[in-house]
Amino acid sequence: MSAETRSDGGPPDLDVREAVKRWLDHLRLDRADQTVAGYQGRLKHFVEWCEEESYESLRELGGWQVDSYENYRRGNDLAPITLKTELITLRQFFEYAARLGLASEALPEKVDLPNVSAEDQVNETLLEEE
């Protein structure tokens, strides 16, 4: 897809990969490289899923697609806190996209964050000295 403005003056119809890249570039202005790399790693699964499912634009996504993606990620035996962190990042990306008009304003609300118990938020594995 082209990054040119539409004939009606609206934002371009970026594909999902381009939209994620634009958001990450925006974050680089005031976030550490490692932070941006973390966001990129968490969103790569979403980008790959969209491409596998043939979603070319964020405008194609609604509640059904977000729920389908959440179910897909839940099926990968992720730790609850990992899933929640990925979905928080996805919601933040959707908020950016909605603010620019690349996605529906309601899209961020479609992300359903799982409840994570306090014990699932802590890793008590002790590391041995080398």
- Give pTM, 2 decimals: 0.82
Q: What is the mean pLDDT of the chain?
A: 88
Give residue 13's pLDDT: 80
Q: Which fold has domain 16-116?
A: DNA polymerase; domain 1 (1.10.150)
**Where are the chain's structural domains?**
16-116
Q: Tell me, what amino acid is at 68?
A: S
Give residue 2's pLDDT: 44
List, for the chain, all residue ranges whose pLDDT scores fall below the cut of 70: 1-9, 117-127, 130
Residues near 53 by Cβ (< 8 Å), separated by ≥ 6? 65, 68
Long-range contacts, stretch 8-13, CB < 8 angstroms, 24+ apart: 10/101, 11/100, 11/101, 11/102, 12/102, 13/57, 13/59, 13/102
- List pLDDT tens digits, range 9-29: 677 888 999 999 999 999 999
Give residue 1's pLDDT: 45
Q: Give 53-120 as a DSSP string.
A: TT---GGG--HHHHHHHHHHHHTT---HHHHHHHHHHHHHHHHHHHHHTSS-TTGGGG--PPP--GGG
